[in-house]
Structure 1
Amino acid sequence: MSDYVASIRSRIGTDLLLLPGVTAVIRDGDRFLLARHRHSGLWSLIGGGVEPGEEPAEALLREVLEETGAHIRIRGIVGVYGGEPMMMTYPNGDNVGYITTAYDCELLSEAIPDMEELLELGWFHRDAIPTLPRRDWIDRVIADAPPPADRQPAAGR
């Protein structure tokens, strides 16, 4: 939990908090890199929160580096997601609703789970993802991810 969120939590307790987030759709051809998260044991895409004053793309680069030690290249935006599928209650009772911007990314270096937030990483073909114990919202993001041939480089990258 960031200092910013902790300061809000000290005032509102476990009440619902809407937070901006970023999500990395890291692909290698037809395979997607997913992470199994420590707090839930579920598979999901890699990402996290945007800090005050931080550009979302910079937050994504930071989150991927912190959680995997890897560097990525952002190629474009897949979409923006929110609503009921993005709401959750953490084990400590904190209620959160995320609104996340998902970015199409390329992995530039080796990724290793940090073992604090992530327990393991794996490459999965699109059709194998629905068989995993996962966060259901990633299905929408994966479905929206463009086929590899349709990707365009992100402006300025």
Structure 2
Amino acid sequence: MDLEFVMGVPPYVLGLRRHVGHGLILLPGASAVVVDDGGRVLLVRRGDNGRWSLPAGMVDPGEQPSDAAVREVFEETGIVAEILSVGGVATHPVVYPNGDRCEYLNVWFRCRAVGGSLRADGDESLEVGWFDPAALPELDSWSLLRLTTGSAWFQPAGAPPHPALTSPDAL
């Protein structure tokens, strides 16, 4: 398995991959629903698959999910975000184009933009933009779940899983 530097993958995870190959790894993730003063939503066109999504990424060892969400927003978009509330928490499977399998425990946050300048990083994000909620581009099911649920959403215990949480090909 080729383990040269992979876009946005922390060295910690690359080390795990040396041991498990493409096998399943449970990873912490954080994402952000960022809105501007006009109510537009911040989206990124992902570098790994070219699809529009919310800013998101892995939580590094020793990092709090809230710090990871703010960091990922800035790294991927150039926007400084302030967290307003927890949006929700859920797990979801991912299969990356190289065959790596992950199950993310994702915490997402409702945020507002407080500064920065909009720009793509050219690696994790190919394009970034503000979108009116009534005119969004096609989004993966996880982004739609995070955009449409209220604060502190979670999958109720014992309930059938929300369809967005079971689709590994949504990445």
Do the structures match in fold with TM over 0.5? Answer: yes
Q: How far does residue 133 in structure 1 lie from its aligned partner after superposition?
A: 3.0
Counterpart selection for 1:143 from 120, 133, 148: 148
Number of aligned residues:
141
Q: Deviations over 1:56-101 (max 9, x none)?
A: 111112212222222111111111122xxx3221121111111211
- Measured in 2, the distance between the counterparts of 1:142 and 1:68 equals 18
Identity of aligned residues (%): 38
Which residue of 139, 144, 151 corresponds with 1:134?
Answer: 139
Of structures 1 and 2, the one with the larger relative CO (CA 8 A, separation 6+) is 1
**Structure 1: how far apart are the matches of 2:150 and 2:135?**
15
| Structure 1: runs of 5+ lacking an equivalent | 147-157
Paired residue type of 2:67: E
Distance in 2 (CA, whole Å) between partners of 1:67 and 1:90 is: 19
TM-score (normalised: structure 2): 0.76
AA aligned opposite 1:54: E
Structure 2 match to 1:57: 66
The alignment's C-alpha RMSD in Å is 1.5
TM-score by length of 1: 0.83
* Deviation string, structure 1 residues 30-77 (Cα, Å, up to 9, x no partner): 321111101111110001110111111111122122222221111111
1:104–1:145 contact (8 Å) kept in structure 2: no
Structure 1 residues 3-47: Cα deviation after superposition (integer angstroms, max 9, x where no partner): 110111100000011111111100124321111101111110001
Unaligned runs of 5+ in 2: 1-8, 152-171
Superposed structure 1 runs of 4+ greater than 3 Å apart: none
State the distance in 2 between where 1:23 and 1:39 align.
16
